[in-house]
Amino acid sequence: MGMNPSSEPEIMGYQDGQAVLHNTKAPPTLWSNVTFRRILCGYGISVFGDCFNGIAISLWVLQTTGSAKSMAAVQICNMAVSFLFGSVAGTVADRLDRRKLMLASDVFRGVMAVLIAISLFGWQASFPVVLLLLSLSMFSSLFQAPAFHASVASMVGREHIQQATGTIHMVDNLARISGLAAAGVAVAAFGGFVAILITGATFLLSAVCVLIAGRFPEVQRSVSQQTTFAQEWRSSFGYIYRNPLIRSIVLLNPVLILFFMSAMMLVQVMAVKVWEANPVQFGLIETCIPLGYMIGSALLIASGKRLKRRGRWVFIGLIVLGPIYIFLANVSSPIMALPVIVGGGAMFACCTMLTQIMLRTAVPDELQGRVYGVVGTITSTAPIMGLTVVSVLADQWGAASVLQGVGILLLATGILAATTLKSIRTYQ
């Protein structure tokens, strides 16, 4: 792989007042970076497998038990595992070889998928046994994301972080869309056993991509003394608390995702109960959400270094989302809603992508796994709580009223965040 010999170490962040130098030697263009291309391919396949697996398991639970409690048990176990071990997985990603960790996660999940398929359709295992296997698979998956995200900055170099982040978000959305769509088709055409085996194959294929990507850049550590796992785990929370920018992002991201996912769920309810959308129109509404996100991602990629004052754009996107949801609450037809939903997805991309760029730029290489682990833990929990609350309120007051309330709250939150989170607002 060709390297840029003129690249020099540069400051990637600060820890305890000391500059952390990071070697930014990387290919001159993002797409000439073979390691990044192969890792990105593996990441996309892994996300596809996660979404595919979620639908396949959900359909099996509903078709086999017909119990909402069983579905809730699966969701609660996933949330509990993520909440309890997400930050732990991030610390492991900072202490071990991240490439080997991604390999181990993918291989273990592939093997677990095969065991789950055999347990369900061969051994006729009881639901608690299947729940245990699903929890083990979820536990393994926690290590893949922080190991991947923590490796991107050192892999592509500082000058390519914005382009790489936008590309990752686009691949992530494409993988999720295709995974969700393909899973239903696979279950209907081949049955649950084959569908879950396909899930296992995707994880193993992701492992192959990681394997052929080659070695990752070495993690640059700012301290030479050995520290224990517990000390490093605790230090992640201390680092986040002491760093105003990182602390602000950790607070803002879950709130943003909570509002966005709650609003999109309410839009789906309105599509059926208020707009009386037919199946084609409902499918278009579902497509517009990731389509808007990908448009926003593409615009940010195209803007490159021309985009200035990125912190302000985070709050522009956040504040605009509030009126978008208020407008959607008063729309009378699904056709009118389509372009507005696309615009909402683009604004959401503006907020989330730019904060990800800030994290990759500001956090030292040796701490990125821990920070992403904490962010992932909070981010995976907050939306579920929001969805639970708005679903109950929507049944009582109607989806349109609740969506309008969400829009007003988001607008107020955006204005409050823009005035109080100075570290994000002044970020260039």
pLDDT tens digits, residue range 215-257?
A: 887 776 665 457 788 888 888 888 888 999 999 998 888 888 8
Task: Indicate if 343 and 215 belong to the same structural domain.
Answer: no
Last residue of a domain, one of 169, 191, 225: 225
Highest mean pLDDT range out of 145-154, 293-302, 330-339, 402-411? Answer: 402-411
Is 355 in contact with 253 (CB distance < 8 Å)?
Answer: yes
Nearest to 328 by CA among 415, 253, 414, 410: 410
Task: Indicate if 92 and 195 belong to the same structural domain.
Answer: yes
Task: Indicate if 37 and 93 belong to the same structural domain.
Answer: yes
Average pLDDT over residues 319-331: 91
Model pLDDT for residues 370-410, shown as the tens digit of each residue: 888 888 888 777 777 777 788 788 888 888 899 999 999 99
Locus of tokens 């007003």: 408
> pTM of the predicted model, to two decimals?
0.75
Q: Which domain holds residue 133?
A: 10-225
Q: Give the chain's domain count.
A: 2
Task: Indicate if 124 and 187 belong to the same structural domain.
Answer: yes
Helices marked H in 221-367: 229-242, 244-273, 279-303, 310-329, 334-362
Q: DSSP label at 28?
A: S
Of 77-86, 217-226, 276-285, 353-362, which range is least confident? 217-226
Question: How confident is the model at residue 26, as a pLDDT?
Answer: 53
Task: For the chain, give the percent of residues with pLDDT over 70.
Answer: 89
Predicted confidence (pLDDT) at residue 165 exceeds the cutoff of 80: yes
CA dihedral (416, 419, 420, 421) positive or negative = positive
Can you tell me the distance from the alpha carbon of 282 to that of 292, in angstroms, rounded to the nearest whole number?
16
Q: Is 38 part of a structural domain of the chain?
A: yes
- Average pLDDT of every residue of the chain: 81
How would you classify residue 319: left for phi > 0, otherwise alpha for psi between -120 and 50, otherwise beta?
alpha
Band of the pLDDT at 2, cuts 50, 70, 90?
very low
Q: Which amino acid, one-letter code, is at 199?
A: T
CATH number at residue 416: 1.20.1250.20
Predicted confidence (pLDDT) at residue 13 exceeds the cutoff of 90: no
Q: Is 230 part of a structural domain of the chain?
A: no
Task: Indicate if 314 and 166 belong to the same structural domain.
Answer: no
Q: DSSP label at 321?
A: H
Task: Indicate if 46 and 115 belong to the same structural domain.
Answer: yes
Backbone angles phi, psi at 64, to 5 degrees: -90, -45
Tell me, rounded to whole angstroms, the distance of Cα 260 from its chain centroid.
13
Q: Is 310 part of a structural domain of the chain?
A: yes
172, two tokens: 């992530």
Backbone angles phi, psi at 23, to 5 degrees: -75, 115
Task: Indicate if 34 and 72 belong to the same structural domain.
Answer: yes
Of 16-20, 259-263, 392-396, which range is least confident? 16-20
Question: How confident is the model at residue 81, as a pLDDT?
Answer: 87
Q: Is 180 part of a structural domain of the chain?
A: yes
Q: Is 298 part of a structural domain of the chain?
A: yes
Q: Is 266 part of a structural domain of the chain?
A: yes
Q: Is 234 part of a structural domain of the chain?
A: no
Higher-confidence residue of 66 and 172: namely 172
The widest CA-to-CA distance across the chain, in whole angstroms, is 64
Can you tell me the distance from the alpha carbon of 235 to that of 243, in angstroms, rounded to the nearest whole number?
12
Q: Which amino acid, one-letter code, is at 161?
A: I
Model pLDDT for residues 33-85, shown as the tens digit of each residue: 888 999 999 999 988 888 888 777 777 776 666 666 676 777 778 888 888 88
Task: Indicate if 286 and 323 belong to the same structural domain.
Answer: yes
Can you tell me the distance from the alpha carbon of 150 to that of 283, in angstroms, rounded to the nearest whole number?
35
- Say how many CA atoms lie within 13 Å of 134 toward its Cβ: 28
23, two tokens: 């070697």
Task: Indicate if 285 and 201 belong to the same structural domain.
Answer: no
Task: Indicate if 180 and 252 belong to the same structural domain.
Answer: no
Pairing of the two strands 18-22 and 10-15 = antiparallel
Question: How confident is the model at residue 412, as a pLDDT?
Answer: 94
Q: Is 11 helix (H, G, I), strand (E, B) or coil?
A: strand
Task: Indicate if 207 and 258 belong to the same structural domain.
Answer: no
Q: Is 291 part of a structural domain of the chain?
A: yes
Task: Indicate if 247 and 218 belong to the same structural domain.
Answer: no
Last residue of a domain, one of 185, 200, 225: 225
393, two tokens: 């309120």
211, two tokens: 């394997």
Nearest to 378 by CA among 286, 272, 251: 251
